[in-house]
């Protein structure tokens, strides 16, 4: 029950819900807290003015008003409206549980009415502190929101189970713990005082004695009210509207907005939804049981790793001591390697334990909350929250099914020390793999006739020698950094052909491949020298390998550094038609290794318009709600929440410019455009975490956002057909935005370094199309040349 406590606390005050109401987004608020975060909106945005203008928008229609900041503060543009443009703004506060809360623009007028009956200021707006959706209240004010009686019942039972021991009220000295309470006398008794002051005879024999905890609750609770309609307060709920998914009364069916909707019996739908939630919980319960067993397995692995480590270290020390003085220096090195492997295994397993423990705690809390909700006997109250709970249960179950319950590390130390070499070979002493029951594979042969380059991409093909009898389980392809540096792994797998995209233009790379099986790895193949294209605007160029050994002088004019996209190639398809391949892989970690400071990339100044890059959106790394079309150049979303999608190409050097056109823009949402790291959060607006740098914009103004910090509010918004330009200058380490070929505000971000991917966040009200291969704007090139 303790893990359920977070589900029972208000996101504003941090305490247990008091008279909770249900917002249209399915989140809950205390009625008093909802009144505290109300703000007053301009007259032009009121429901009355909307109806007068003929817009026909429903006051509570989230399908039409779903957006991130219906009204914006002057300093951040995110949250609730803090007054008119000339009015001073009010900084936002944080509730005890960390949720951002916006106070009202002015203190409410004094009133002698209860919070539920006090009048709501005209043209009031409320913003959900959890999902930040805003809506304008109608004349009913907060009374227009249904009360969550199911949640009240769950809280009552939870507090009853946590109630502290009550003391007897009639003990003369030190009060003893009460054992009963008389409902008629309204007094708590211990056993001696009950026998002495409340004997079970005479008129007292008819009194009802209850346990102390039940008595405490009965003191506090009044009889629960019957569920009434929010539109017709004198009518009880009697039917369920299938289209609106809410309980309704008979007046709603006869004369209200539900008169033409399909309706069903309230009791039947209550039983149906309760059955659906129970079925969903069965699957989640199985996942939780598997997670508990998995945690036991992981904890056993920790012990096994400890034991194996101690055993291995003892064996290693005994062997090294036998080799006298010549082995001492090498022994220290080998011990360091074993300890490093030991710590790495422990760290991986402990991190996985911690991750699974947190996720299991959240899952258990949700399960307990759902079970308590199922115990409720209020059909309409249950149906108000059942859909949201069912979705949460299915989502949590899906999260457990994506390889979460697989150990990331083995317990074995597959190493053995070979002490057979002579003393003069001690300096070559190293670990060898255990259980070498078969030889390693033969050295692969690169098939030169099938290897070629195209722009900044290279396709390599290899095969096993014809007479090889030892099978290979996979291959490892390695490239250097194009600057004579160390080789790095860019592909590991079973395929014998792959395309490497995102190399530097006009650069020379070395490539080699080796095979592996359970026994070990083969020697490297012969090293090939490959040259990427010099002019990206020319027709398609392919260069067969090998390139002559005399290398061309390296000229690095704002070279691109993008992700290494590896694709198995198959007979009958172009090696370069990789962007639409379902087999494409993205190894951003390999690129980050290639672009480290140790690679010593050099750059020379050059016209900014000479080098351009073509890329599309990446379905592999995008949120599952993103919808792709037009060869992954056009995206929209199936959710009303913001979802993030990244481009396939990442940049760490040079100057890059791309544009996005707004194909559809409904109900004034706030799409965000910019750049991000590969591990950016995909289920929130771009810029909410520290892995993204973005500009989000509505139909009137824009803001820059990074790590949830909003800056530089600028007038001028977007409409259907508008063009957003993004200019990433990694030579100057700046990020600049444009709207319709005009710079939007100052330089948005400075001192940006590292690997960045083009990024967009949007919801179902927006559709955008990506345009790449564009030159840098002329005025920026001229200004940079002058600088």
Rounded to whole angstroms, the Cα distance separating 755 from 248 reads: 54
Q: Is the pLDDT of residue 175 over 80?
A: yes
**Cα-based angle 106, 108, 111 (whole degrees, multiple of 5):** 160
State the pLDDT at residue 216: 61
Under the banding of pLDDT at 50, 70 and 90, the label for residue 59 is very low
Under the banding of pLDDT at 50, 70 and 90, the label for residue 481 is confident
Q: Are 655 and 606 in contact (CB under 8 A)?
A: no
* Mean pLDDT value of segment 277-305: 88
Under the banding of pLDDT at 50, 70 and 90, the label for residue 462 is very high
State the pLDDT at residue 443: 92
| Tokens representing residue 187 in the block | 């007094």
Rounded to whole angstroms, the Cα distance separating 64 from 486 reads: 56
The model's pLDDT over 89-122, given as tens digits with 9 standing for 90+, comes to 333 444 444 444 444 444 445 444 444 455 666 6
**CA distances (Å), origin 678, targets 77, 500, 587, 591:** 27, 18, 10, 11
Q: Please state which of the ranges 23-32, 246-255, 387-396, 515-524 shows the lowest mean pLDDT.
A: 246-255
pTM beyond 0.95: no
State the pLDDT at residue 775: 82
Rounded to whole angstroms, the Cα distance separating 168 from 588 reads: 68
Under the banding of pLDDT at 50, 70 and 90, the label for residue 213 is confident
Q: Could you tell me which residues come within 8 angstroms of residue 173 by beta carbon, excluding any fewer than 6 positions away?
A: none
Under the banding of pLDDT at 50, 70 and 90, the label for residue 8 is confident
The model's pLDDT over 675-697, given as tens digits with 9 standing for 90+, comes to 999 889 999 999 999 999 999 99
**Cα-based angle 120, 105, 82 (whole degrees, multiple of 5):** 110
Q: Is the pLDDT of residue 735 over 80?
A: yes
Residues constituting the chain: 787
Rounded to whole angstroms, the Cα distance separating 774 from 693 reads: 21
Q: Is the pLDDT of residue 764 over 70?
A: yes
| Tokens representing residue 450 in the block | 């099938």
* Mean pLDDT value of segment 728-757: 92
Under the banding of pLDDT at 50, 70 and 90, the label for residue 783 is low
Q: Is the pLDDT of residue 591 over 50?
A: no
State the pLDDT at residue 283: 85
* Mean pLDDT value of segment 143-155: 82
State the pLDDT at residue 321: 74
Q: DSSP characters for 735-769?
A: EEEEETTEE-SS--EES--S-BEEEEEE-TTEEEE
In 74-203, at which residue ranges do the beta strands (DSSP E only) sit? Answer: 93-94, 100-101, 124-127, 134-136, 180-182, 187-189
State the pLDDT at residue 581: 31
Q: Is the pLDDT of residue 363 over 80?
A: yes
Q: Is the pLDDT of residue 477 over 50?
A: yes
State the pLDDT at residue 685: 94
Q: Is the pLDDT of residue 709 over 60?
A: yes
Percent of the chain exceeding pLDDT 90 equals: 23
Sign of CA dihedral 252, 253, 256, 262: positive
Rounded to whole angstroms, the Cα distance separating 513 from 536 reads: 28
State the pLDDT at residue 777: 81
State the pLDDT at residue 607: 37
> Ranked by mean pLDDT, which of 115-119, 260-264, 323-327, 552-556 comes out on top?
260-264
**Which of 742, 5, 741 lies closest to 366, judged by CA?**
5
The model's pLDDT over 395-428, given as tens digits with 9 standing for 90+, comes to 888 888 766 788 888 888 877 776 666 556 666 6
Task: Return the higher-pLDDT residue of 228 and 733.
Answer: 733
Q: Is the pLDDT of residue 613 over 80?
A: no
State the pLDDT at residue 238: 80
Q: Is the pLDDT of residue 65 over 70?
A: no
φ, ψ (nearest 5 deg) of residue 671: -65, 155
Arithmetic mean of pLDDT over the chain: 75
Q: Is the pLDDT of residue 70 over 50?
A: no
Q: Is the pLDDT of residue 703 over 90?
A: yes
| Tokens representing residue 766 in the block | 């927006």
Rounded to whole angstroms, the Cα distance separating 67 from 642 reads: 9
* Mean pLDDT value of segment 339-354: 89
Task: Provide the b/e sequence for 748-771 (b: ≥16 CB within 10 Å).
Answer: bbeebeebbbbbbbbbbbbbbbbe
Q: Are 46 and 123 in contact (CB under 8 A)?
A: yes
**Which of 546, 592, 455, 564 lies closest to 499, judged by CA?**
564
Q: Is the pLDDT of residue 304 over 60?
A: yes
CA 326 to chain centre: 54
Task: Return the higher-pLDDT residue of 166 and 503.
Answer: 503
Q: Is the pLDDT of residue 698 over 50?
A: yes
Under the banding of pLDDT at 50, 70 and 90, the label for residue 326 is low
φ, ψ (nearest 5 deg) of residue 781: -60, -45
Which run of H or of E encompasses 675?
strand 672-676
Under the banding of pLDDT at 50, 70 and 90, the label for residue 58 is very low
Rounded to whole angstroms, the Cα distance separating 376 from 378 reads: 6
Q: Is the pLDDT of residue 509 over 50?
A: yes
């Amino acid at each position: 029950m303790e893990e359920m406590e977070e589900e029972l606390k208000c996101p504003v005050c941090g305490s247990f819900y008091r008279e909770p109401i249900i917002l249209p987004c399915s989140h809950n608020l205390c009625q008093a807290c909802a009144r505290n975060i109300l703000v007053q909106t301009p007259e032009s945005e009121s429901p009355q003015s909307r109806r007068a203008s003929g817009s026909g928008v429903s006051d509570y229609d989230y399908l039409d008003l779903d957006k991130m900041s219906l009204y914006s503060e002057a300093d951040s543009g995110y949250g609730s409206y803090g007054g008119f443009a000339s009015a001073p703004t009010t900084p936002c506060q944080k509730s005890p549980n960390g949720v951002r809360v916006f106070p009202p623009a002015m203190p409410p007028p004094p009133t002698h009415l209860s919070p539920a009956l006090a009048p709501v200021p005209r043209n009031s707006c409320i913003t959900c502190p959890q999902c930040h959706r805003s809506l304008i209240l109608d004349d009913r004010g907060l009374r227009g929101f249904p009360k969550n009686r199911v949640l009240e019942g769950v809280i009552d039972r939870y507090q009853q189970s946590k109630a502290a021991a009550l003391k007897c009220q009639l003990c003369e000295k030190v009060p003893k713990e009460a054992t009963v309470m008389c409902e008629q006398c309204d007094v708590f008794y211990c056993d001696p005082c009950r026998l002495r002051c409340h004997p079970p005879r005479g008129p007292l024999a008819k009194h009802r004695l209850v346990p102390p905890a039940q008595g405490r609750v009965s003191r506090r609770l009044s009889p629960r009210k019957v569920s009434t309609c929010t539109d017709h307060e004198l009518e009880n709920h009697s039917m369920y509207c299938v289209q609106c998914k809410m309980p309704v009364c008979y007046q709603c069916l006869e004369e209200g907005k539900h008169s033409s909707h399909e309706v069903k019996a309230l009791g039947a739908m209550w039983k149906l939804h309760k059955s659906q939630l129970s079925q969903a919980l069965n699957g989640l319960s199985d996942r939780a049981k598997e997670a508990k067993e998995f945690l036991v397995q992981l904890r056993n692995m920790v012990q096994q790793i400890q034991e194996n480590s101690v055993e291995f270290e003892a064996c290693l020390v005994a062997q090294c001591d036998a080799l006298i003085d010549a082995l001492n220096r090498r022994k220290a090195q080998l011990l360091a390697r074993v300890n490093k492997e030991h710590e790495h295994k422990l760290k991986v397993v402990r991190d996985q334990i911690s991750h699974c423990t947190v996720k299991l705690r959240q899952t258990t809390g949700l399960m307990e909350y759902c079970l308590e909700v199922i115990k409720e006997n209020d059909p309409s109250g249950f149906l108000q929250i059942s859909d949201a709970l069912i979705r949460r249960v299915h989502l949590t179950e899906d999260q457990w099914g994506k390889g979460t319950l697989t150990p990331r590390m083995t317990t074995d130390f597959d190493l053995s020390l070979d002490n057979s070499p002579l003393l003069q070979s001690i300096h070559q002493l190293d670990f060898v793999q255990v259980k070498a029951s078969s030889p390693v594979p033969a050295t692969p042969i690169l098939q030169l006739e099938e290897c070629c380059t195209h722009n900044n991409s290279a396709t390599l093909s290899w095969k096993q020698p014809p007479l090889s009898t030892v099978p290979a389980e996979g291959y490892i392809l390695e490239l250097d950094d194009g600057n004579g540096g160390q080789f790095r792994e860019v592909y590991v797998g079973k395929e014998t052909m792959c395309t490497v995209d995102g190399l530097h233009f006009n650069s020379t790379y070395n490539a080699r491949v080796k095979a592996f099986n359970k026994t070990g790895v083969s020697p490297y193949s012969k090293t090939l020298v490959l040259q990427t294209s010099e002019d990206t605007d020319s027709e398609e160029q392919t260069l067969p390998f090998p390139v002559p050994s005399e290398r061309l002088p390296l000229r690095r004019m704002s070279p691109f550094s993008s992700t290494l996209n590896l694709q198995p190639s198959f007979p009958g398809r172009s090696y370069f038609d990789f962007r639409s391949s379902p087999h494409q892989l993205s190894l951003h970690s390999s690129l980050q290794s290639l672009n480290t400071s140790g690679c010593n990339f050099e750059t020379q100044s050059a016209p900014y318009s000479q080098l351009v890059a073509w890329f599309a959106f990446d379905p592999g790394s995008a949120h599952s709600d993103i919808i792709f079309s037009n060869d992954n150049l056009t995206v929209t979303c199936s959710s009303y929440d913001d979802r993030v999608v990244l481009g396939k190409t990442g940049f760490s050097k040079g100057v890059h410019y791309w544009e996005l056109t707004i194909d559809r823009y409904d109900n004034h949402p706030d799409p965000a455009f910019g750049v991000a790291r590969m591990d950016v959060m995909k289920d929130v607006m771009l810029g909410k975490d520290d892995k993204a740098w973005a500009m989000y914009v509505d139909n009137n103004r824009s803001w820059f956002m990074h790590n949830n910090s909003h800056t530089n509010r600028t007038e001028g918004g977007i409409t259907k057909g508008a063009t957003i330009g993004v200019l990433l200058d990694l030579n100057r380490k700046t990020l600049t935005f444009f709207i319709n070929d005009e710079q939007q505000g100052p330089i948005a971000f400075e001192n940006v370094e590292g690997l960045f991917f083009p990024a967009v966040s949007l919801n179902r009200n927006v559709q955008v199309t990506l345009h790449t291969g564009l030159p840098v704007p002329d005025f920026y090139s001229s200004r940079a040349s002058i600088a």
